[in-house]
Each structure stands twice: as C-alpha cells, then as structure tokens.
Amino acid sequence: CFRHHTLFRTKQSVSLESSVCEEMSSQVRLRLLPSTRCLFDEPVQLKVAGLRSRQVVTMRATSSDEKGVVFSSSATYMADGSGEIDLERDPSLRGSYVGVEPMGLLWSMTADTLHKRFQKMYALQPHVVRFSVHEEEGEGKMLAEVTNERLLMADSVTRLPVREGNIRGVLFTPPGGGLFPAVLDLYTFGGGLSEKRAALLASRGFVVLTVALYGHGDMPKNIKEVHLDYFEEAIEFLKKQNKVGSKGVGVISLSKSGDLALSVASYLSGVEATVWINGCSANTALPLYYKKSQILPALMCDFSKVIITKSGAGIGKYAMHNPLAEENKGSLVPIEQAKGRFLFVASEDDLNWDSKAYMNEMVERLKRHGKNNFEGVSYPGAGHYLEPPYGPYCASSFHGFVGKPVLWGGEPRSHTAAEVLMWKKIQEFFRTHLSCDFQTNNKL
C-alpha cells in the first residue's frame, strides 16, 4: 500500500509539474511600451515577463515591405532572476546583434533575398512588425507575441496628392490652426515617389511637399535632362499653401537629389535652408537646364572603376569622375551664390561615392568666399542611405544608374545611431532657420 501510495504521489507530482510548466508558458507576456502603435521614427521598449529564472529565449521580429519582401531578425536573451527581460537593460547574447540594443530587432532585420532595400513609399501603409518570444530549446515553441504598428503619418496629418501644372507629388500638412515652416522634399532619384520622409516631417510640424521627377503617374519613365523650372514651380506652389508661415522654404535631399538641392538653393529665390545628405558637390548624371538653357553639364562616372565583390554587388565609390579636375569644374554647383543656409550631412563609410570629400570641398569653397552660412556633420561607420531612423539597415540593393546591385557601406549599429542623430539635427536645423511664427508641438 505504501509503495502504491508513493507511486501515485510521484505520478501526481509529475502531472502537477507538467501542468505548472504549461501554465507558466501560457503566462509569458511580451509588452510593447508605451504603446503598440507609434510613429515610424519613435523608439519603443520591449519587455518580457513570466519566464523561468535565468531562462534563455530567442526574440524575433518579422515584417514585409510594399514589394512583399520579408525582413526578419532574431536575438538570444537570458531572463533575470525574476524571469524578466528588458531590451533597454539586457544584452543580446547572440543573433542578429550582440549587446544592449533596445531597437536592435528593428534595425537588424534583413531581407530573405540578397540585395533588397526595405521599401515603404506610401504614407497610408504602416510598417507592421511582429515581435515574438520563443523557447531556445527544441523546435523553438512560441511563448508570446505582440504586433507593432509603426505609422508613417500621424493620424491628424492631412495627405493631398498634387497634380497641378507640371507638379506631381503629395502635400502633407500638420493639424491645427497655427502656421508652419515649409519644406520641399527632393526624394526624387530612383524613379517614382517616396512619401515616408515627407509624412514623418509633417508629423513633426512641417508643411511638406514631396515631388517626383520621373516614373510617377503620367510622368516619363526615364529622363535625359533635368529642368530647374520644375522645382521653382513646386516652391511657388508650396509657399501659397494656407498653413505655410515661413518666409521661404527648406529643401531636403539624399544622394543624387543632393546636387539638385544645391542647385535649387543656388539658382532659385525663396530657399532659406537646405539639407544635403550624402550627395555630390557637382551636378551629376544628367545635364541641368533653367529657362530652356543648360546651366550645368553632367559629371559622369567610369563604370570600369566599379569594384565587383563576391556577393555580386559593386562598389562605386571610386567610379565618379573628379569634379575638381579642370575639365569637370564646369559641373560644380555654385553654392557660393546661395543666400540661404546649408546643413551638410556625410557618411564616412559611404561606398556609393565619397560624400565626405564632397562635403569638405564645399566647406572649403564657402570659406574661401567668406561665407559662414553652413554647418557640416559627418558620421563614422554610417553608409550611404541615411533615412529616418529604425528602419531595416540596407547593406546592398539595385542601383538604377549603375544597372546592378551595389554596396552602400556602413556598419548597421553605427549607421542606425547616425540616423537617430541626423533626424533630430534636421528638425532642429529647419526650425532654427525657417523663420516662422507657428504653433505646434514636437510630437503630434
């Protein structure tokens, strides 16, 4: 009887322990603070509770972009003595990144195929990320999950497609009765129209017009020349908007559109502040026209100098012709005649071209002309595509001008840190130099 009773109790204990384990698993909680819904450029805090003391788990993030490309990341964590994990406090032991990286699961996401860049072009479509916690052992059973909806546009911002005259773009306007600074977003190269940066800037208190240059709607798919008159028309349209309170406009750019922004600031009136991000100091790729006359020839590149790597992606940093060579100086944008202010932003590990050298050349030129209407910042370890923070870092993708995949440069952690700093710097720059009496909050 005693043996039978002991056996019964042992079986009962095993059954009870099993039941407790199942119950613990079902009690694991994954929390997203302060909310599961936020703007794309806002950090969130991930916390796990209900684990066993010192339990090792894998945390994952998965998402897909507008092209259907799947992006994912994973990192291994150990719970503390209370069975909790806090990504703002605890280090990843291994996985897509190592160390304390509160937003690591977001920026370390990579595509399931080579040479793909994360694309979120349309502001009405949020970046939806699924975070989950999995057992480290066995088949990695999922213990908990939560979905993060990362909005490109604040709920109260208005979005208006623009098709007026030659302009093709989208206008974003903050809510409220106050007046706001105006910004023209020249995210124009690569074809089509990108709304992400413009929508996020509007969510931070700016009236923003983003325009397409080609490949959008009824616009030609390819162009052989650029006309400055198009941007002049866009500036006049922007200045006429009811909620615009700044005397002039700001201009923001990236890559090829960097030299377009320099030309807009140098040749057109009404530009008070220009942000140049990883561009060139000369007009590149396509000749520039104004009032039907060519004002700048195109600085070209030598494709034989593109270095092909084992992955099949090329390095184009050394392919561009030297803009300071005597035969190319005519392509330099005459920024010394600009009346507004410049913010130059350069990545020190840009593999597309030598942005840092172009920035240094422009700074020296402005100094020689007795100008002090500029500030420059460079970021070590950052690559070419500096964008609003917390999107997946892009190591390589297809380059339309080169006609094949290229490496963009940068180390993911350093690149993301640069994006956070740059995004704050850009907003401060525009608020300081776009003179305007406006009523808004930094966060809507």
Cβ count within 10 A of residue 311: 12
Q: Does 384 qualify as catalytic in the annotation? A: yes
User: Catalytic: 350?
Assistant: yes
| 440, 156 contact by CB (below 8 A) | no
* 188 C-beta neighbours (distance < 10 Å), count: 27
Q: What is the DSSP string of 209-278?
A: EEE-SSSSTTS-S--S-EEHHHHHHHHHHHHTSTTEEEEEEEEE--THHHHHHHHHHHHSSSEEEEEEES
The amino acid at 175: P
397 is catalytic: no
Task: Please name every residue paired with 75 in a beta bridge, in sequence order, or none if there are none.
Answer: 59, 95
Residues 115, 127, 216, 384: which is the catalytic one? 384
List, in sequence order, every residue forming a beta bridge with 423; answer none if it has no partner.
none
Distance CA 20, CA 17 (A): 5
Which is nearest to 267 in space by CA: 322, 181, 334, 359?
Answer: 334
Return all residues near 335 (Cβ < 8 A) that are at least 6 apart: 262, 265, 266, 281, 342, 362, 365, 366
Give the integer Cα–Cα distance in Å for 251 and 314.
30
With 0-12 / 13-18 / 19 or more C-beta atoms within 10 angstroms meaning exposed / middle / buried, residue 249 is: buried
Per DSSP, what are the bridge partners of residue 398? 405
Query: Which residue in 65, 90, 185, 350 is the catalytic one?
Result: 350
Closest CA to 216 of 253, 238, 240, 190: 190
Question: Contact, 333 vs 325, CB < 8 A?
Answer: no
92, exposed or middle or buried, with CB in 10 Å at 0-12, 13-18, 19+? Answer: buried
Pick the catalytic residue: 194, 253, 255, 263?
Answer: 255
Q: H/E element holding 15?
A: helix 2-26
Of 138, 171, 137, 176, the residue nearest 156 (C-alpha): 176
3-state secondary structure at position 349: coil
Of 134, 25, 28, 34, residue with least CA distance to 74: 134
Residues annotated catalytic, as ranges: 255, 350, 384
